[in-house]
């Protein structure tokens, strides 16, 4: 952890901001409802492209850890082969990952594979902005190595976050955690709006898998 983090530790109550949380949840509901309507054509086009490229299914769900350590199932457009983890089990994505389909590489560069998570936001599993939700098995590993890791679960996980906007796609868990904990401490509606806008710019540029910091 950085020096600033050690001087400003997280506590169970440090991220509770009732009014801000209520406003943010209201914005999540409105924007995600509109997002479902606006993205309807993309669901059809991307779904058809996935079937043409690698067959069914179009979507896949995966357990992730959310606010308070609650496990939920995140939704994504399928970007990997159907048998991607049948032998390897849960492993991190890597550069030029052979498990990713041809179409999947495009979906990941533009983050279009994340569109179905609008449903997770509408349900309340996630928010538009927050620490990215991680798989339970990885959370267990990271918590053993990084004792402050559970601090990121004080808020709803997000479709995008500070680590994604200011970090690198293949950043180490420790580096991403610094961004996540900084977000929990300093989060505000203005910060959310800034991260939301920058995320759209990165999407339009197709830079989500860039190795350098954005």
- Give 73-118 pLDDT, tens digit per residue: 999 999 988 776 655 555 555 556 778 899 999 998 888 999 999 9
Q: Looking at the domain assignment, is residue 55 inside a domain?
A: yes
Sign of CA dihedral 212, 101, 195, 75: negative
Q: Looking at the domain assignment, is residue 8 inside a domain?
A: no
As for how many domains the chain has, the answer is 1
- Is the omega angle on the peptide bond into residue 57 within 30 degrees of 0, that is, cis? yes
DSSP string, 85-108: TTTT-S----TT-TTB-HHHHHHH
Q: Which domain holds residue 165?
A: 16-205
Most confident among 2-6, 72-76, 90-94, 209-213 (mean pLDDT):
72-76
DSSP string, 2-68: -HHHHHS---TTTT--HHHHHHHHHHHHHHHHHHHHHHHHHHHHHHHHHHHHH-S-SEEEEEEE-GG
What φ, ψ does residue 33 adopt, rounded to 5°? -65, -45
Q: Looking at the domain assignment, is residue 50 inside a domain?
A: yes
> What's the maximum distance between 2 C-alpha atoms anywhere in the chain?
53
Q: Looking at the domain assignment, is residue 211 inside a domain?
A: no
Q: Looking at the domain assignment, is residue 10 inside a domain?
A: no
Q: Looking at the domain assignment, is residue 33 inside a domain?
A: yes
The percentage of the chain sitting over the pLDDT mark of 90, rounded to a whole number, equals 69
Contacts of 44 (CB under 8 A, 6+ apart): none
Question: Is the predicted pLDDT of residue 212 greater than 70, yes or no?
Answer: no
Q: Looking at the domain assignment, is residue 3 inside a domain?
A: no
Q: What 3-state DSSP class applies to 70?
A: coil
- Give 165-177 pLDDT, tens digit per residue: 998 777 889 999 9
pTM value is 0.85
Q: Looking at the domain assignment, is residue 174 inside a domain?
A: yes
């Amino acid at each position: 952890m950085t020096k600033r983090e050690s001087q400003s530790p997280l506590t169970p109550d440090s991220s509770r901001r009732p009014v801000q949380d209520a406003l943010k949840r209201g914005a999540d509901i409105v924007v995600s409802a509109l997002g479902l309507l606006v993205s309807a054509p993309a669901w059809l086009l991307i779904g058809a492209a996935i079937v043409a490229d690698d067959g069914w299914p179009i979507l896949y769900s995966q357990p992730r850890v959310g606010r308070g350590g609650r496990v939920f199932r995140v939704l994504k457009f399928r970007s990997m082969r159907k048998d991607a983890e049948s032998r390897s089990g849960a492993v991190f994505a890597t550069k030029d990952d052979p498990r990713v389909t041809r179409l999947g590489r495009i979906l990941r560069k533009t983050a279009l594979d994340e569109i179905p998570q609008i449903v997770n936001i509408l349900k309340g599993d996630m928010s538009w902005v927050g620490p990215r939700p991680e798989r339970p098995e990885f959370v267990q590993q990271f918590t053993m190595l990084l004792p402050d890791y559970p601090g990121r679960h004080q808020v709803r996980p997000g479709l995008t976050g500070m680590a994604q906007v200011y970090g690198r796609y293949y950043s180490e868990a420790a580096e991403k955690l610094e961004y996540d904990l900084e977000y929990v401490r300093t989060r505000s509606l203005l910060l959310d709006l800034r991260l939301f806008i920058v995320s759209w710019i990165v999407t339009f540029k197709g830079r989500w898998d860039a190795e350098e910091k954005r």
